[in-house]
Amino acid sequence: MDNAAIEEMFETLGPISIRRMFGGKGIYCEGVILAVEVDGEILLKGDAETAPELEAAGARQWAYDGKGKPVKMPYWSIPEAAYDDPEEMARWVKLAYAAALRAKK
């Protein structure tokens, strides 16, 4: 996904920065990472507070293969409904930023 499309997805937060990392991209707001791009997919930061909502909306938690065992990361796919509804996308983006701020503490 190109940076302009990513910026559009996160425009509700204001200016974001995008940095290359691990073959993907990190997406930051005010210096706090709130999402990553992996293999062309945007994954939002989640935590114990937002995970149940993300799961209920059909999002899946990102995991990678760590020596034969899946390692779950605190990032979730964007619920499908958000791609067709800017207000819904804004809601998920704001929840991801809130989770990122909680993780920073």
Q: What is the pLDDT of residues 17-76, one digit of tens each?
A: 999 998 899 999 999 999 999 999 999 999 999 999 999 999 999 998 888 899 999 999
Domain that holds residue 66: 3-104
Structurally, the chain folds into a number of domains equal to 1
The CATH number of residue 39's host domain is 3.30.1460.30
- Record the pTM: 0.92
Closest CA to 35 of 80, 93, 103: 93
Q: What is the pLDDT of residues 74-100, one digit of tens each?
A: 999 999 999 999 999 999 999 999 999
Decide: 34 and 42 in contact? Cβ < 8 Å. Answer: no
